[in-house]
Amino acid sequence: MNIAALAVALIALAMSAHFWRRQFRPIVTAMVKTHSGGNTGIAYNLVVLNSGSIPARDVWFEVADAKALAAALGRGANNKDKKAWLSCFDRRDMIPVLHNGAQVSCSFGVTEGEEKGFWRNAAEFPIRIHYKGWFGKNYFETMTLRMVDTDTFTGFMWE
């Protein structure tokens, strides 16, 4: 009887430790969010959020599919704008510390009618977010960024 109780207690302890390790970490995500919009175009921000329970360190981004990124660019994507709005994918511009519950953002291009903007309307491409936990463990998340108006999830709203 005592051996069975000990075994159950050890299993419960192991399970608790396992789930604690999975939960006690940073969880960094990114999304494209509408900065402002009007009848001629929409300006976007790239918003980065740590929704985990501890700070994240050395957060950096990479494009997971260069062909998908190239296909997402509109006719207005010139070299000057690429340098400015895609600088978040330069590892030198990493985020040193992102506290839990904190978010940061940067400008991330525009869409305009007839694909004249930096991004094509509703274009999407995958990225990979790399970061470290506070105690040095490395993590990465793969997600898709999509260029749509985030003020409305259907594309329609009151004037």
pLDDT digits (tens, 9 = 90+) for 113-141: 888 899 999 999 999 999 999 888 999 99
Enter the pTM of the model.
0.83
On whether the CB atoms of residues 145 and 125 are closer than 8 A, the answer is yes
DSSP codes joined into one string, 2-67: HHHHHHHHHHHHHHHHHHHHHHSS--EEEEEEEEEE-SSEEEEEEEEEE-SSS-EEEEEEEES-HH
Split at pLDDT 50, 70, 90, the class of 15 is confident
pLDDT digits (tens, 9 = 90+) for 26-67: 999 999 999 987 777 899 999 999 999 999 999 999 999 999
Q: Is 84 helix (H, G, I), strand (E, B) or coil?
A: helix
Statement: residue 89 has pLDDT above 90: yes
Q: What is the pLDDT of residue 16?
A: 79
Residues paired with residue 132 on neighbouring β-strands, in sequence order: 57, 138
